[in-house]
A = this chain, B = another copy of it.
Amino acid sequence: MHLLAIGGSDAGIAAALRARELDDAHEITVMLADEFPNFSVCGLPYLVSGEVADWRDLAHRRREEIEALGIRVVTGATARAIDVAGHRVRATGPEGSEWATPYDRLVIATGATPVRPTIAGLERLGAADGVHALHTMDDAFAVLATLSERRPERAVVIGAGYIGLEMAEALTHRGLAVSLVEALPQVLSSLDPALAAVVAATLVAHGVEVRTATTVREVARVGDELVVRTTSADGDNVEIRAGLVLVVTGVTPDVGLARAAGATLGARGAIQVDRRMATGLPDIYAAGDCVITHHALLGETYLPLGTTAHKQGRIAGENALGGDRHFAGSLGTQVVRVFETVAARTGIRDHEARDAGLNPRTAVVSVDDHKAYYPGATRIAVRLTGDDTNGRLLGVQLVGTVASAVHKRVDTVAAALFSGLGVDELGDLDLAYTPPLGSPWDALQVAAQRWRAEAPTRVDR
């Protein structure tokens, strides 16, 4: 039996590792287009910042470790077509070689590709001009090359999502002046505006020029420089001159191969899979950023995240070997660290809940991370959302310092959401307390009590 995974990032590798864990005998191959199997794409900003000195350290596992498990790793191999009936994948190598690899079970883990927004000039500018994406190791190497060769003093980051924020920090850390340009009225649109404003304030405090509600009309090369021409919502036209422009405006699932093979596409054009990660095509599974996401509260959506890719890949690998694991569902749990500020969320926000036909309400509190009498307490901004119809917990958003542990406090709510707990039950949880690190009622429980106290119809359970 031969299990073939197309894609050497989180999902493809997780599938291969799980299959090997369950079975020593089967043949397992991971085929990937570049030379970087099992690298942490989420770590790229820290390579660019210089905090990770050696790019090899970004590997979750070294290639030799994977191969030592008896997993064949074929790099530089671009899958071109899947012969579904013939159970083979046609691939090409870097020097034009072409071959077909037979499989018994296939896991498509082709990931996503960066969205190239429709901005004049982008169609003819690239890494050689100092215009970059940041999605692959090669992208990161190209950014590093621009930094070392062109020694830019200013960078423009287009897009204020997770990667945009991390890269604004990374480039600031490298000593560049950074302008962050975002078409939406706020940074980090995955958070409510009031919390996103805290993150924006952190960026500004560290010298980042934040221009929200600002669209980029054009990126032009003028001599050795790049000129980013922007228009604000107020109609102001501003030109920013920079030596480096980073375009990080989101990703789109890479489904060309799957579509050509006859796979059904779902939300946002991602590959339709069931909870077993099966595509419906015989013996073909798919996982990671190329597939739709089963969301525990929203149903089918598209929410590409590394954590989800690992889980889906593991399930695909198990089921490809005849298992019957089901993906338990995403809650969209996310966290980003921007300088000393951490923003985290899990579950859904008011507008998402309303769109899903629910009856949400959000309580807003600001609570010390630990007892104020012990030195070093900082405030955690909490927005806790529940459903007024049935008291069910829907989600939480947290912003605090690194020391406030919001990055793990959010996990408590993720666990509560997984089990469908009510807001009141969050208050019932037996959470840990010691004065230097917490309070008898955790910040989440203070929020839960506030939510209940503010209920339009008083329900005294």
Interface residues of A (CB under 8 A from B): 10, 21-22, 40, 42-43, 46, 51-52, 57-58, 60, 296, 305-311, 318, 323-325, 328-337, 342, 344, 346, 371-375, 402-403, 405, 407-416, 418-419, 421, 425, 428-438, 440-442, 453, 460-461
In the bound assembly, the distance between CA atoms of A354 and B328 in angstroms comes to 30
B331 near A430 with CB under 8 A, answer yes
- Determine the chain B residues whose CB is within 8 A of the CB of A425 once the complex forms: 328, 418
Q: List 6 A-B contacts (CB under 8 A).
A: A310-B441, A311-B430, A337-B436, A346-B430, A408-B408, A409-B411
- The one of B10, B411, B419 in contact with A432, judged by C-beta atoms closer than 8 angstroms, is B411
Q: Which residue of B lies closest to A444 (CB)?
A: B411
In the bound assembly, the distance between CA atoms of A318 and B374 in angstroms comes to 31
Besides A43-B435, A403-B403, 4 more A-B contacts (Cβ < 8 Å) are: A57-B373, A309-B440, A323-B461, A418-B425
**In angstroms, how far is the closest chain B Cβ from the Cβ of A438?**
6
- The one of B40, B305, B342, B460 in contact with A22, judged by C-beta atoms closer than 8 angstroms, is B460
Q: Which residue of B lies closest to A51 (CB)?
A: B375
- Determine the chain B residues whose CB is within 8 A of the CB of A323 once the complex forms: 460-461
Q: Which residue of B lies closest to A421 (CB)?
A: B419
B415 near A373 with CB under 8 A, answer no
Number of copies: 2
In the bound assembly, the distance between CA atoms of A10 and B306 in angstroms comes to 43
- Determine the chain B residues whose CB is within 8 A of the CB of A60 once the complex forms: 440
A432 near B346 with CB under 8 A, answer yes
In the bound assembly, the distance between CA atoms of A323 and B458 in angstroms comes to 13
**In angstroms, how far is the closest chain B Cβ from the Cβ of A447?**
14
Q: Which residue of B lies closest to A21 (CB)?
A: B453
A434 near B374 with CB under 8 A, answer no
- Determine the chain B residues whose CB is within 8 A of the CB of A308 once the complex forms: 430
**In angstroms, how far is the closest chain B Cβ from the Cβ of A134?**
14
In the bound assembly, the distance between CA atoms of A429 and B421 in angstroms comes to 14
- Determine the chain B residues whose CB is within 8 A of the CB of A346 once the complex forms: 430, 432
- The one of B21, B43, B431 in contact with A371, judged by C-beta atoms closer than 8 angstroms, is B43
- Determine the chain B residues whose CB is within 8 A of the CB of A51 once the complex forms: 374-375
A430 near B329 with CB under 8 A, answer yes
